[in-house]
Each structure stands twice: as C-alpha cells, then as structure tokens.
Amino acid sequence: MPEPPPPSAADLRARVDRLPDTPGVYLWRDADGRVLYVGKAAALRTRVRAYLGAGDGRPLVRLLMRRAADLEVVPTATPQDALLLENTLIKRERPPYNLRLKDDKSYLLVRVDRRHPFPRLRLVRRVRRDGALYVGPFASAKGVRRTLRFLRTLYPLRSCSDRELGERTRPCLYHQIGRCVAPCVLPVDPAEYATLVEGAVALLKGRDDGVRARLEAGMLAASQARHYERAALLRDRLAALDAALARQEAVVPDPRDRDVFAVAQAGGTAMVGVLYVREGHVVATRALPQRTALARAELLHALLARFYLRGKVVPAEILLEEEPADREGLEAELMRLRGGPVALRVPRRGPARRLVAQAARGALAALEEHGARARQAAAALRRLAEVLELAAPPERVEGYDLSHLGGSDPVAAMAVLVGGVPDSASYRHFAIREAAGGDDYAGMREVVRRRFVAGEALGDLPDLLLIDGGAAQVEAARHALAAAGMGALPVVGLAKARLAGGVRSPERLVRPGRAEALVLPPEDPGLRLLVRVRDEAHRFAGRYQRTRRAERQTEGALSGIAGVGPARRRRLLQRFGSVEGIRQAPFEDLAALPGIGERLARRIRERLERAP
C-alpha cells in the first residue's frame, strides 16, 4: 500500500490550530518522513504556530520551513517531561537542525567602526550586523593582542571607550608616551585620523603599506646621526612588524576572503574541516566533530546554517567539496546575514580545489585522532555503565563540586564530559545565593535544583550526575532532582581518598540506596573517567572562588574612592589580578589603564598605601 502524501500547507495550519496548549514535544519531518528538528514547548499550539507565521524570522527557522512537510506532536504531562522526551528523541533521531557546534571556537576579530569620527580598534568574538568593519579571524589571541600594542607605536589611535572619549578634560598617559593623538581634547583632524586607521587596518590584513621602508630609513638615519637609542627602538619596531606580518605564502593568487569546508566521515561520526582564508592566506583552521550519520550534502546544509548564525564573518565566497542540500535557500540566508552577495562554490580544479583538498586532509587527520580518543573513552564509558548498572553507557556526564574558604564566597561548578571527552564550552559556575556558606548539603541542593530548573539553557540533559562527596551530598542532589521533576536521572558520588595513620584510603563510589561504597582499582578506566570529571569540576570551582574572593577583597580595599565604581573595580582586578597586584603595579601602568588616568591612579595608590 503506497504511503499517503504529506499534508498541504492548509492541512498543516488546520492541524496546528487544533493542537492543545499543553506541554509537549514537536517533530518537523521532510517529505520523506525524516526528522529534521525536535523541539519542546510549554504550550504546543502557541509555539508551533510561530513556525507557520512570519513572527519567527530566524534564518535557521526559515531554512527549516523550506523543507518541512509534516509535523508530529507528543503531548506530555509537564514541561519537565517534555524536556526529558526532547533529549531522548534528539539522541535517537539525530536531526540535522538540532546539530550543536559544541567544539566550535570563536576566534578573535578586530572591529573598526568607520562611521565614528575617531574609531578605535576593538577586539571582539562575534560579528554584529552594525555596519562596522571586522578584520580577522586571528588564530592566536596572544599574538593579535601583541600586534595591537605594536600598532599603537605606529598609529596612535585611541583605546578608550566612547564614554571616556566624551568625558575627558585632559589627555591621558597614552598621549604623553606617544601612543594616542588624544582626540578626546585636542583638535585632531578626522581625515588625518582616518589615515591612521587605514594604515592600522592594512597591517592587520597583512600588508605593510610602506611601513617597513619608513622604519628602515628612520633606523639608518638615526644610526648615522649616532642616535643609537632611537635606532635600537626602530630596530625593535621593525622586528615587531615582521612578527605581525608573519604569514605563510599566499595559497591563492587573488585576495578574496573565503571559508573552506570539507567533511570526513566514519562510524557515525563526521569531522568538518574548516579553513579561514583571508586575502589569499590561510589564517586559521578548525575541526568540528559531529555525532551524525547524515549524508554529506545534508550535513553541510545544516552545519553552515548554524555556523554563521553564531556571529561568524560571512565571506563573499564559501568553498565546498560537495553541493549542499537546498543551496539556493542557504545562499539567500547567508546573503541576508552578510548584507551582500555570497557564492557557494564546488571547485573542480586550480588553487581553489587545492584549498578544499587541504581542508579534507585536515578533516581526515582530525577524524583519525578523534577516533582513537573516542575508542578509549567508549571503553571507559562501557565500564562505567557496567559497574553502576546503567541501561547504556552515559553519553553526557556532569560533575558538580562546591568551593569556599571557611564558609566565605561559596561557589559551585559544573564540568561536562561528552562522549568521555571534556566539553569545556559547557562548563558552568554558580555563585551560591541561598545556602549558608559552609553548608555543603544545602549548597549542593541549590546548585542541582538551579541547573535543572534552567533546563536546556545550561546544555543537554546528562545521562549521569557525578557529585563530589559522600552519601549526604548524593542524597541532597537526589532531593533537588526530585524537586525539579528529574528524579529518574542516575546519580553517583565520588568520595575523595583520605589519609589516616599514614595510610591513604581509596576513592569510593557512593550509589543511592546502597549501604556499601564501591571501591574500584585505581587503574580502572571507569573510575579514572569519573576522577577526571570530578577534578575538572574542582579546578573550575576553585578558580571561580578565587576570582570571587579577589573581587570582594578588591571591592573592600577600593570602596569609598570617588570615581571607582563596580566597573572600574572589575577592570582593575582583570588587569592586575588582586589588591596586592594593584599595589605593586608601576604607577604608569595603573594610570594607563583605560578609565583610570593619573589623578584617579594617584587616589587609588594613596588609599592602598594607607590600607593594612
């Protein structure tokens, strides 16, 4: 018997109008019945109706609805049940529009707003459709920051905020040392300033713009005049210029910006290799693993849609090894994001084809390395499922740890393993708000409850919770899970080894409802995996606790100083690390910090010298 045809648009609208406004899960399917997207809703009719109207203008939704032909809904009793069911269906169906770029890295970009009469070079990680120029990406954060410091010696552009620019009444220290022309108070010609901006942008793009020749001529002249200090300074600037311009040889003869994508697949895992090509040079590479068995065309379509929605620069040309599904719709959405033409090309020969081959080699090498790590992790997860009597190896493990110093500044952290590998982008920290400092049981209840009330805002639901502690901490976590409607999630505690009488006790696994702790050999792969996530949570919580403590100490030491509010206290802490770091910092460094200046630096230094 033939399959019935998919419903028409009118049928879909009529069906949506009949949906209940109760919690549930909805699945969009294509004309062949494949699941494209799984979502959850607190009110099904209201949420699904938004897909059929013009209210949801997100590019990803527009691309989805170009291909969606049928709808399936599953009502649930509570929103928590919907969350659990959504999590299960995504893992089972692996729909393309639910792909998550968990290992995607946001490289630094330099933003220049040429509409401002006196632009500044500002480091950002996301592109906004605001009319500004974005230069990059830059693979090395340290390198681009060093380059910006060097650029100030050649092009003395402002580094202060717009607010500081408008409020200053006298030049700052940067002007005094020749690293800012002080447009805040001096009569700087915007046209001359724009020339400085264009020179800095040219260097950031890898063109020396005649700077090298000028530096060499100045160094020679200073040397001949026996101004050796000046010559040495220009020599150092020349070396810094060479480092700033250090790139590999151009890989394509024309200077167009391109992104290049290639895919390697094996055993239900796909590795997407990405090359960023700027003005003919490969400036950065990336490998993005995905757990999916999608065909290459489907994967490229779904991945590109998500990739550029995350604030990436959309170049004028994107090179692919294969035509993506719904190329026309994808190009249209990318053109909207870019605000200009975008071409998706599958090159067959020449330099562009060699770029795609380079991306493919990188993807294959990354896939092989990922596979070796995944096999080790899979063995550890199978062992973990065996010893904890789980129905299946846990794909996502979340570990929780608390940290405080004598009850002060209590915090907690969540570390995450996905497929047995740390997923640092999913780590989260929490400031304890309700539990008293030092009450670890109440603190654990609070943190676990807050994590699961937040739901998918803090990531996919885990398959296993690891609690740093013994039976009492595990019981506190179980109470919190029950209160959040997640009582079915497995929980295990990891009690630390203790030293007593010169003998070190082993790590102990604490399972709910079991009187005896489970002791595994130190080399057991399942135990080592749990120790790893516990240690990651401990490290992350400890770092956040130190930051909070330093912020409090800084706030106390700097409280009452006119002109030093919360924002400037944070800036001081980020730059110098602690109150002692501020106290020991050279006065010039303190005064040069944006927003501080000499007068305020003097007040800060006087206050800290009087403090105990």
Q: Which of 87-91, 235-239, 491-495, 596-600 has the largest mean confidence?
A: 491-495
Task: Name beta bridge partners: 510.
Answer: 493
pLDDT of residue 196 exceeding 70 = yes
Give the least confident one: 220-234, 239-253, 391-405, 560-574. 239-253
pLDDT range class, residue 8, cuts 50, 70, 90: low
Structure tokens at 240: 């810094």
- CA 175/CA 170 separation, integer angstroms: 10
- CA 288/CA 606 separation, integer angstroms: 51
Task: Name beta bridge partners: 411.
Answer: 403, 431
pLDDT range class, residue 611, cuts 50, 70, 90: low
pLDDT of residue 403: 85
Full set of structural domains in the chain with CATH: 9-98 (3.40.1440.10), 113-245 (no CATH), 258-369 (3.30.420), 396-529 (3.30.420.340), 559-610 (1.10.150.20)
- CA 266/CA 41 separation, integer angstroms: 34
> 314 and 294 in contact (C-beta within 8 Å)?
no
> Which of 197, 195, 206, 196 shows the shortest CA–CA distance to 136?
206
Q: Which of 136-140, 310-314, 444-448, 496-500 has the largest mean confidence?
A: 444-448
Peptide bond into 512 cis (omega under 30): no
pLDDT of residue 163: 77
Structure tokens at 75: 């009502």
pLDDT of residue 242 exceeding 90 = no
Kindly state the average pLDDT of the residues 310-316.
78
pLDDT of residue 248 exceeding 50 = no
Matching residue, tokens 């040309």: 317
Kindly state the average pLDDT of the residues 169-188.
82
What value, to the nearest 5°, has the Cα angle with vertex 138 and ends 132 and 140?
Answer: 145
Burial 201-211 (b: 16+ CB within 10 A, else e): bbbbbbebeeb
- CA 433/CA 415 separation, integer angstroms: 20
Mean pLDDT across the chain, nearest whole number? Answer: 80
| Residue 398 parent element (H or E) | strand 396-405
pLDDT of residue 354 exceeding 80 = yes
pLDDT of residue 261: 92
pLDDT of residue 1: 43
pLDDT range class, residue 310, cuts 50, 70, 90: low
pLDDT above 70: percentage of residues in the chain: 87
pLDDT of residue 87: 73
CA 16 from centre of chain: 36
pLDDT of residue 103: 47
pLDDT of residue 88: 77
Task: Name beta bridge partners: 569.
Answer: none
